[in-house]
Amino acid sequence: MPRPCDSLSVGVNHFREQGGVQVPTYTLQLDSDTPLWMAWLHGDPRKVIYPTDSYGQFCGQKGTPNAKKSILFYFNILKCANPAVLINLQCPTTQMCVSKCPDRFATYTDMQLQYQITAAPWEYYRRFCKPGFNNPTKPVAQVLRDEDCPSMIVPSRPCKYSKKKLQQLAGNKEEVMILNDLVYQSYSLVDAKEVGMKIVEDYAASWNWILIGLVIALVVSLIFILLLRFTAGLLLWFTIIAVILVIAYGIWHCYLEFSLLRQQPGADVTIVDIGFQTDVTVYLHLSQTWLIFLIALCTIEASILIILIFLRKRVRIAIALLREGSKAVSYIMSTLFYPIITFLLLAICISYFSVTSVFLASSGDAIYKVMAAEPNCMYANKTCDPETFNKTNVSKTCPGAQCTFAFYGGETPYHRYLFILQLSNLLIFLWLVNFIIALGQCTLAGAFASYYWARRKPQDIPTCPLFSSFSRAIRYHTGSLAFGALILALVQMARIILEYLDSKLKGASNVAARFLLCCLKCCFWCLERFIKFMNRNAYIMIAIYGKCFCTSARDAFCLLMRNVVRVAVLDRVTDFLLFLGKVLIAGSVGVIAFFFFTHKIPIVQEDVPTLHYYWVPLLTVICGSYLIAHGFFSVYAMCVDTLFLCFCEDLERNDGSPEKPFLMSAELHSILRKTEHH
């Protein structure tokens, strides 16, 4: 459990005169590990961990005077509601780093009276004053004007004031509304932090069972692929029927939950009424949630049945093609583990992008601005230098003005183009990701092409075909793969920019602009899908012939157009069958995990860890299982696409005569010949 002052808390700081009424102001304590989102835009990466005081110094950072002061203390939190916050990106009140929250009630006036007797009260009070301030006899008016010390400190701890309590504390209705909103947001942060801590605790308590679930998914995926070699037809039809039955069970379960909750009072509240809740289980007590699940599952079930009814003949042909592909995979088993290499390369790429983005966003210098006590000060919000501020005329012209840290930034050309550099970093990231995927596709295509063009299988298959294909792709085809990846990255970059513009125009009333933007998003989505499809086939042609990207893309496009009937029959149908296999593996492991984490398996009921949210490990297992299955089945999808293009090329290069015999198997020839009649 966190310490009381390790959480965000609000407390009365001091009273000020307003319209003849003593109005309280407040303090806000932030824990050192509170995520400050502004840190990602202005400042050093350490700002993500450490809050910053009014002098730009980090709280709780080792090697600094504030090393043991990890809590940020606000003198007057109500000043944070000032519109100047939007300009300066900093709350216009003194902020100090302190080691502990106040644990006693004291006012500056009472402290001065007690100081005449003993210095102990001042020694405690000065902890919450500016560093170096040691003049307890200074008049209170001047202390408040210069904000040397808070006029009042109170014991602070996590709290949530009620409306009645706020009205007792404040004499101004407007201030009550401001504070009420502040406390609500503060409590939301605390609530989100507690939920995050509970999720971490759930992972800590169930990580071993999550790992077991992922291992089960790995074993099931391997068994599934091995069985495809011998019982492809039976296994795939079993997969189709099993997916239909699993979804049907989900429909039945959702209907039971919906019928049960519909009869309970209070369950008819809509999701919109309760808004966003950090506790996801709250939604499971609403009948509308289960109604949405019911409609979604019914739609999916109906779609699958319609597809199977109209494509039943093509499904049989696709199953036969997958059976042929399983032979190639069985001869080159190393291809099943290539996705691990892709995963490691993607992890390195993502790490590079993340680190570069953080350092780009936090490469500014400390900027200080004048915080004026008087609203008509001509120097307000002007840039200043804290070292020479006291020697200027600003303090004389604007009494009480301070040179306070505002944000991290700069006026150099480098700082002005930081946004462009971030966009460039994003483009490089997309380029690298697409290059890694292209490298994997070209490597697998080369390995499976070596299987297809071998006259005697498996005798003529090269030794270590996967490693040989990877070496060829790195040595000879790097430029072609990078060029194809760059084209796709540019299109994806355009889509990201369009999504950004769409988010900015959410509240716009210009219907024509919104319609045009929607059309552009749709066009670029279609363009991205087309380029992905063409790149994939171009990489296969590169692996077969070793030509450049443009030539390979043109040859692949022409070859596909000459065999458009076969493409229409097999392209989406095989992907559909493989998708059902992924769903079956992830769904079956997910069902087992659901019964386990909800204590519905009597044999292992005592071993189930106590969790705050059982959906945390459950979703992790389901998503992880799907990704594992996707990694294995993506190899199958690449194998089928490679064999298909090799088959089409074989038909055009050879005629089956003794001089030009087909290199395809007789079974594959009979399979794909059938597509001409469907």
Helices and strands: H and E segment counts in the chain: 20, 9
- Tell whether omega for the bond before 92 is within 30 degrees of 0, i.e. cis: no
Task: Report d(CA 541, CA 471) in Å as an integer.
Answer: 17
CA angle 44, 47, 53 (to 5 degrees): 110
Taking every pair of Cα atoms in the chain, the longest distance, rounded to a whole number of angstroms, is 115
Task: Report d(CA 621, CA 24) in Å as an integer.
Answer: 51
Q: Is the pTM of this model over 0.95?
A: no
pLDDT of res. 180 = 52
pLDDT per residue as tens digits for the range 531-590: 999 999 999 999 988 889 999 999 999 988 887 777 766 667 777 788 888 888 888 888
Number of domains in the chain: 1
Contact present, 454 and 460 (Cβ < 8 Å): yes
Those residues with Cβ within 8 angstroms of residue 118's Cβ, 6 or more apart along the chain or in another chain: none
Count the alpha carbons within 13 Å of 511 in the hemisphere toward its beta carbon: 0
Task: Report d(CA 671, CA 662) in Å as an integer.
Answer: 14
Residue 642's CB is within 10 A of a number of other CB atoms, namely: 28
For residue 159, is it within any domain? no
For residue 480, is it within any domain? no
For residue 191, is it within any domain? no
CA angle 158, 161, 164 (to 5 degrees): 160
Residue 222's CB is within 10 A of a number of other CB atoms, namely: 13
Contact present, 162 and 183 (Cβ < 8 Å): no
CA angle 509, 515, 518 (to 5 degrees): 120
Phi, psi for residue 376 in degrees, rounded to 5: -95, 15
For residue 389, is it within any domain? yes
For residue 172, is it within any domain? no
- Residues paired with residue 23 on neighbouring β-strands, in sequence order: 16
Those residues with Cβ within 8 angstroms of residue 210's Cβ, 6 or more apart along the chain or in another chain: 203, 617, 620, 621, 624
Task: Report d(CA 570, CA 485) in Å as an integer.
Answer: 26
pLDDT of res. 107 = 77
Nearest partner of 96 among 115, 119, 72, 121, judged by Cα: 72
Nearest partner of 598 among 331, 590, 342, judged by Cα: 590
377 is in which domain, residue-wise? Answer: 366-404
Locus of tokens 């949530």: 160
Query: CA torsion 640→643→644→649, rounded to 10°?
Result: 170
pLDDT per residue as tens digits for the range 481-514: 999 999 999 999 999 988 888 877 766 667 787 7
Question: What stretches in the chain show pLDDT beneath 70?
Answer: 1-51, 55-56, 63, 76-92, 117, 156-196, 266-267, 271-283, 362-366, 373-375, 406-416, 506-509, 568-571, 667-668, 671-678
Instruction: Please give the full DSSP string across 613-643, using - where no structure is assigned.
Output: -THHHHHHHHHHHHHHHHHHHHHHHHHHHHH
Q: How far apart are the first and last CA of the chain?
A: 66
Contact present, 70 and 31 (Cβ < 8 Å): yes
For residue 380, is it within any domain? yes
* DSSP 8-class letter at 232: H
For residue 235, is it within any domain? no
Q: Could you give the C-alpha distances from 627 to 199, 241, 340, 343, 560, in angstroms and in order?
A: 21, 22, 11, 11, 30
For residue 449, is it within any domain? no
